[in-house]
Copies of this chain bind each other. A is one copy, B any other.
Amino acid sequence: MENAKKNSAITSRDADFAQWYTDVCRKAKLMDYSSVKGFIDYLPYGYAIWEEIQNYLNKRFKENGAENVYLPLVIPMSLFNIEKEHVEGFAPEALIATHGGGKELDDPLVIRPTSEILFSELFKHTISSYRDLPIRYNQWCNVVRWEKTTRPFLRGSEFLWQEGHCLFVSREEAEENVRRMLDVYDDLGRDLLAIPFLKGRKTKHETFAGAVATYTIEALMHDGKALQSGTTHYLGTGFAEAYGINYLGKNNALEVPHQTSWGVSTRLLGAIIMVHGDDNGLSLPPLVAPIQVVIIPIRQQEPGVLEACRSIEEVLKTKGIRVKVDDDDGHTPGWKFAEYEMKGIPLRIEVGPRDLAAGNAVLTKRVNGEKITASIAQIEERIPSLLNEIHRDMYEKASKFLAEHIYDAESIEELKNGLEKGGYVRMAYCGEEECELAIKEITGGGTARCIYKEIDDGHVCPICGKPAHIVAYFAKAY
């Protein structure tokens, strides 16, 4: 019974959300800590979720003309220092290698925190004519940003991500790419993760170091805090100019291309945990769940029970469903129920002698505990549609939660009140960096997550009193 105790030892969300999060990460065996702070071990159960995200995105990227490549882990310091804004943004978090092969390096190497510089270098010597454009590259890789405070998946010194890097002849094409890839990320939320995102442009203050414009998808966690879950950047021609990328245009004149970049990371695992999880543990959307259906025999020593479980398993496998029978007789069915709830398996099937006699099995949805008695003969047809239904249930539940946590504020006082309740607060302000910093200070951490709309309707900024140009979604964020 030691294990049963372990299961019940997940801290409740309301008691301590941070501890609840860590408990779920550890007890569901998504990850483990390594001996270096901020560097984690992705265990099979966590990594498999990331692989499903990769599969979905690789398909969507390909549809949008992107090709996978792989560029180096390291950036020479001399190259790193060229684009000023970008350096300022990333230098403070850099991990720097100074020795290789027993010697001190002449030019130290920055472990890539992101690869705009490396792609710019590649583009510089691979494009020469407008015929070489557009270029749409993507890479899956690890990046390193030396962080002071770290949390599994949410903020690590190393994380896994994809970064798209593209070049276009015109600003219009580049901006179209940036919007389209943001839509792909939004689709990923709706179609795969069952997570509704707020989608929009970042304010000037929150724009990526070196970009002209940044777009974001923002998710709302159960504790009312926002999680930036993916970004796309229109980089303009700044990197191209700094790194000397140009090409011979149609009119035989040298032109500078327009650049974009876009990425999502293993941070999405944190979003899945904190959007869908509850006091019983993880709750996984069916399409990313490493195990979609668990079958638990009741009184498994009685004749026919295990055989029925195995035959359901076989049938579901042929349908491409990820299914597992747990016939370990060292644990009670009750222990198993708790265990697989904690691991967030979307659907549980129980088969016991009494159900079996009636030709039935009992199905339980993880998302809401709903129980369904289903005929075993029809289970093959039933399960795929039930998994779709569970996906919809989860998306609707999260969408309702999001809708219920969006407030409007006309003053700093109302903004503070809204942020106290948790969620997003829409408020008009001038749009300037100084006022955003003041708002963050006054509200104890409220930041502009993205722009709701631009206005010119007589509103004034509650900080500086000048005309308000922007209504932004403010929230406290991870």
Q: A99 within 8 Å of B by Cβ?
A: yes
Q: A452 within 8 Å of B by Cβ?
A: no
> What is the distance, in angstroms, from A342's C-beta to the closest C-beta of chain B?
17
Across-interface contacts of A68 in B (CB, < 8 A): 44, 47-48, 51
> What is the distance, in angstroms, from A335's C-beta to the closest C-beta of chain B?
15
Cβ contact of A35, chosen from B44, B76, B96, B98, cutoff 8 A: B76
Select the residue from A40, A79, A146 with max chain B CB neighbours within 10 A. A146
Q: A118 within 8 Å of B by Cβ?
A: yes
Across-interface contacts of A357 in B (CB, < 8 A): none
Across-interface contacts of A94 in B (CB, < 8 A): 99-102
> What is the distance, in angstroms, from A64's C-beta to the closest C-beta of chain B?
14
Select the residue from A95, A102, A142, A146 with max chain B CB neighbours within 10 A. A95
> Measured between alpha carbons, how far is A160 from B141 in the docked complex, in Å?
10
Which stretch (A121-129, A185-193, A244-252, A365-373) binds chain B? Answer: A121-129
Q: A92 within 8 Å of B by Cβ?
A: yes
> What is the distance, in angstroms, from A296's C-beta to the closest C-beta of chain B?
19
Across-interface contacts of A36 in B (CB, < 8 A): 72, 74, 76, 109
Are the C-beta atoms of B98 and A92 separated by less than 8 Å?
no
> What is the distance, in angstroms, from A21's C-beta to the closest C-beta of chain B?
20
> What is the distance, in angstroms, from A37's C-beta to the closest C-beta of chain B?
10
Q: A69 within 8 Å of B by Cβ?
A: yes
Q: A71 within 8 Å of B by Cβ?
A: yes
Q: B-facing mask of A28-52, CB < 8 A → 1, else 0?
A: 0000101110011111100110110
Q: A435 within 8 Å of B by Cβ?
A: no
8 A-B pairs with C-beta separation under 8 A: A39-B74, A41-B69, A73-B73, A73-B142, A92-B101, A96-B98, A97-B111, A101-B148
A residues touching B (Cβ–Cβ < 8 Å)? 32, 34-36, 39-44, 47-48, 50-51, 67-74, 76, 79, 91-102, 109, 111, 118, 121-122, 125-126, 137, 141-142, 144, 146-148, 157-158, 160
Q: A36-B76, A142-B142 are in contact. List 8 more A-B contacts (CB 8 A).
A: A42-B69, A42-B70, A73-B158, A92-B102, A95-B109, A96-B97, A96-B98, A101-B146
